[in-house]
Structures are given as C-alpha cells and as structure tokens.
Amino acid sequence: MDKLLIEGGVRLQGEVAMSGAKNAALPILCAALLTRDPVTFTNVPQLNDIATLLKLIGQMGVKVERDGDAVTLDASGLDNPVAPYELVKTMRASILVLGPLVARCGEARVSLPGGCAIGARPVDQHIKGLQAMGAEVSVEHGYVHAVATRLKGARLFTDMVTVTGTENLMMAACLADGDTVIENAAREPEVADLAHCLIAMGADISGVGTDMIRIRGVERLHGATHRVMPDRIETGTYLCAIAATGGDGRLTGTSASYLEAVIDKLTDAGCRIDTEPDAIRLRAPARLKAVNLRTAPYPAFPTDMQAQFMALNAVADGTAVIRETIFENRFMHAVELQRLGADIGIDGNTAVVQGVASLQGATVMATDLRASASLVIAGLVAEGETVIERIYHLDRGYERLEEKLARLGAHARRIH
Ligand code: UD1
C-alpha cells in the first residue's frame, strides 16, 4: 500500500490549478443514465472515486469514453440496472445511481452502502422519497430493490438536509409524471451544478440553489455537454495548507464564491485573502489565530473542511472549539494529530484544540478522505519527517496531490 512521505517545515509558496469537484462529478455522471443520448462532461477529476463510478455504470451496459478531463457516457445500451455490493462498499456515493435507474429503467437493484468510517450514514431518506413518488421499494439480501412503471411527481420532505438524497430525488423526478417539490433540499453548490446539468439535458427545474426545488417531469432528456464546477473542498484544503505553513499561494481554476464560510474563518485566523473571478490568493501571518467553528449544511461551514481546520488550529495561537453536527464519528483524525504533538480533547461532538508552538513528524494512519487531508497539512507544518499510511483514502478525492504540493514548494513524495 502506498504511503506519503512529507518533509515538514517548508513555507508553501506559488501557484497551482484546482480540479473539478468530485462531489459534483459523481452525481452529474449518474445523470447520464437518464437519457439514451450521449452526454459529455468536462473538468472531470481523475480520482479513484470517479474510476469506481465509471466502472459501476460501465457494468450496467453504459459506454464510457475518457479523454483527459473529458468523459462521454452513452447509456443507450443500459440493460443491467444493478449496483453490486463489491463496488458500492468501496464508495457510498454509488447510491446516486438509484434514482436515475428507477426513473429510466423502471427498476433498480442497488446494494445498501453499509457503514463507513465517519458514521452510520443511512439512506432512508432516499428510499422514503422514491416511495412517495410511487416506487415499490424493498430491502432484500442487502440490496435496495425499487420498481416503478413510471414515477409520479410528489411533494417530498426530507427529515434532515441530505446532499446525495436531494440529488437522487431530483434526478428521479426529472422523468416522473407531473410536478415534484423537494422541501428542505440541500443547498450545496454541487446540487446546483447537477441541476444546471439536468437543465442542459432538457429537465424543467426551478428553485436551484434554494431549499425548495421544483421539478416538472418531462417525457425524456437529451444529450448535452456540461463542465463540472471547481472543487471547493480541494480548494479549501490547499488554502489551509498554505495558511498553516505561513505561506503565500494562489489557487487558479477555482472560485471563492462557494467558499464564503471557509474564507471567513481563514480571515479570522489572520490570513489575507484576495479573490479574483477564477482564482484565490492567500497570504498567511507568521502565526495563525485559533478559530472556533461549527459544521452545518451549506452555506454554513462544511463538515468536509472540519478536519483540515483542526490541523490548522493545532498550531494556531489560542484555543479553538470545533463542533461537528453532521456526522457522529468524524474526529478520528484527532488521535493521529495527537501523535504529531497536537493538544486536542474530544467530548462527544465537540473538540477543544489548544494550539501548540510546533508539531513533530511521526508515522500516522489515514482513516478517511478528509481526515487524511488534515494529516497532510499537519505533516507540512511538523518538524522532520511524517509518513502517512493508507493514502488510498487521499487518492479517492485529491487529484495529483504530490504534484500539486510540489508546485507550492512542499517536499512530499509517494512511496510504493
Ligand atoms: C455528501 C458528500 C460528503 C459530505 C456530506 C455532508 C457527496 C458524494 N458526498 O455526503 O462529502 O460530507 O454530503 O455535506 O456529495 N442521512 C440520513 N438518512 C439519509 C441520508 C442522510 O440519516 O437517507 C444523514 C447522514 O447520516 C448524515 C446527514 O444526514 O448524518 C447528512 O448526510 P448527507 O448530506 O446525506 O451526506 P452524503 O450525501 O452521503
């Protein structure tokens, strides 16, 4: 298994381009299941999660063509609406095929994702919504089996804000008979990006970007071309890395407009941030100030940036209180950060981080995608050498990580 070796203590400087958003590309690729026409997507990041999804839909009979950051999917031959456990267990987002498959094929068998490192993460809201649209749904032998001759438009309300739940139901509703309203919808920019892609394919959607999305079902969707939005979490992660090392860096091909909560906290921490329409420059002070934060659905502070801010607070001046409200078990990075010398106390969903003057390199273990990112940031700051094990977690969500870090002057290399 690959490891990442980081020589810490280098102040990051320079310019690096950000990739397309993993969490937008995943649902958007699934949208291609809704039409018989080819659909082309650009700015699709080359990541393990994307490869898993392409494999998953490829085995359904979809033709997949990949050329750099462009992917063309032709689902005219879709004949096997099944998502097997072997693929779903490696990536929960596979559940995103459920809505499009039922809408297009009238039937789907999708393995239940099961647990994951950061919490229970059930899919009951996805199922409840499809049932409200008239699907017969049963759970048999670990699979969700959904059948509907044609889904019917309905008024849907999710018990909590769910990103992939909203996306699944929005895709399903595009081909339903009649109007669907999703209340308490997720407002994440990735949901809006999916909606824009569906609209380009002929869907009738309004309320994009709000918590009430209206979809007027149409008979069929057609082919389109869509460019995936920039990855706001990758962007936020590099901003944190530059900030934690006291650096000065410019990130291109990205936008501050989806990152208000993160930029606000970085500014509170003492960073100077200049934004351009498609770039962000961050200049960090010699020592950051500790910042409190509480995760919540967009536009509040994203749970996917919580771990990176824990690393940043670990070396900041002062004490930070971090509250995680989305997932019940998302502090696994804290014990690994402690191995590097961080002072962190955990009580339920609250972490108290007492900033220390310096961290020391050590061997640490990546536990999930964003937890791994926090270890990279801590390793960049730590004195000496840090070895991060199990970096396959990072390969799920960070494209060409070592190369991008090198562009900013970091000393990081992969060991096979
Ligand atoms: C998406 C993101 C993930 C991010 C998360 C929260 C993708 C591919 N992944 O995950 O990176 O961390 O949003 O911003 O976009 N829940 C239920 N029942 C359901 C659905 C969700 O109880 O049917 C709960 C979850 O357990 C969790 C909360 O709702 O506590 C929010 O989860 P959700 O927004 O659905 O996360 P994902 O869409 O899986």
What does the pLDDT profile of the chain (416 residues) look like in tens digits? Answer: 899 999 999 999 999 999 999 999 999 999 999 999 999 999 999 999 999 999 999 999 999 999 999 999 999 999 999 999 999 998 999 999 999 999 999 999 999 986 556 556 789 999 999 999 999 999 999 999 999 999 999 999 999 999 999 999 999 999 999 999 999 999 999 999 999 999 999 999 999 999 999 999 999 999 999 999 999 999 999 999 999 999 999 999 999 999 999 999 999 999 999 999 999 999 999 999 999 999 999 999 999 999 999 999 999 999 999 999 999 889 999 999 999 999 999 999 999 999 999 999 999 998 889 999 999 999 999 999 999 999 989 999 999 999 999 999 999 999 98
**For the CA of 127, the nearest atom of ligand 1:** 23
Three-state helix/strand/coil letters over 367-391: CCHHHHHHHHHHHHHCECEEEEECC
Q: Out of 116, 174, 197, 240, pick the active-site residue.
A: 116
Q: Tell me which residue has its CA closest to atom 24 in ligand 1.
A: 121
Place of tokens 């969700």: 144
- Is 331:351 a contact under the CB 8 Å cutoff? yes
What's residue 122's pLDDT?
87
- Is 295:324 a contact under the CB 8 Å cutoff? yes
Q: Is 306 in the pocket of ligand 1 (CB under 6 A)?
A: no
Tell me the best of 211, 303, 326, 374 to mutate to test the pocket of ligand 1, counting ligand atoms within 8 Å of each CB and taking the most: 326
What's residue 329's pLDDT?
83
Residue 388 CA to ligand 1 center (angstroms) comes to 26
User: pTM above the 0.95 mark?
Assistant: yes
| E strand spans, 253-384 | 272-276, 279-283, 293-294, 319-323, 343-347, 350-354, 363-365
Task: Please count the CA atoms within 13 angstroms of the CA of 174 that sit on its side-chain side.
Answer: 32
Q: Tell me which residue has its CA closest to atom 20 in ligand 1.
A: 123
Closest CA to 50 of 395, 366, 414: 395
Q: Tell me which residue has its CA closest to atom 12 in ligand 1.
A: 304
Residue 408 CA to ligand 1 center (angstroms) comes to 32
Task: Identify the H or E element spanning 311.
Answer: helix 306-314
Residue 240 known to be catalytic: no
- The rounded distance, in Å, linking the Cα atoms of 155 and 116 is 30
Give, in order, the Cα–Cα distances in Å from 124 to each of 127, 157, 165, 313.
5, 12, 9, 35
What's residue 286's pLDDT?
94
Q: Collapsing DSSP states into helix, strand and coil, what is residue 347?
A: strand
What's residue 82's pLDDT?
97
What's residue 115's pLDDT?
57
Q: Collapsing DSSP states into helix, strand and coil, what is residue 346?
A: strand
**For the CA of 92, the nearest atom of ligand 1:** 39
Beta bridge partners of 72: 40, 65
- Is 241:380 a contact under the CB 8 Å cutoff? yes
Q: Is 326 in the pocket of ligand 1 (CB under 6 A)?
A: yes
- The rounded distance, in Å, linking the Cα atoms of 219 and 200 is 15
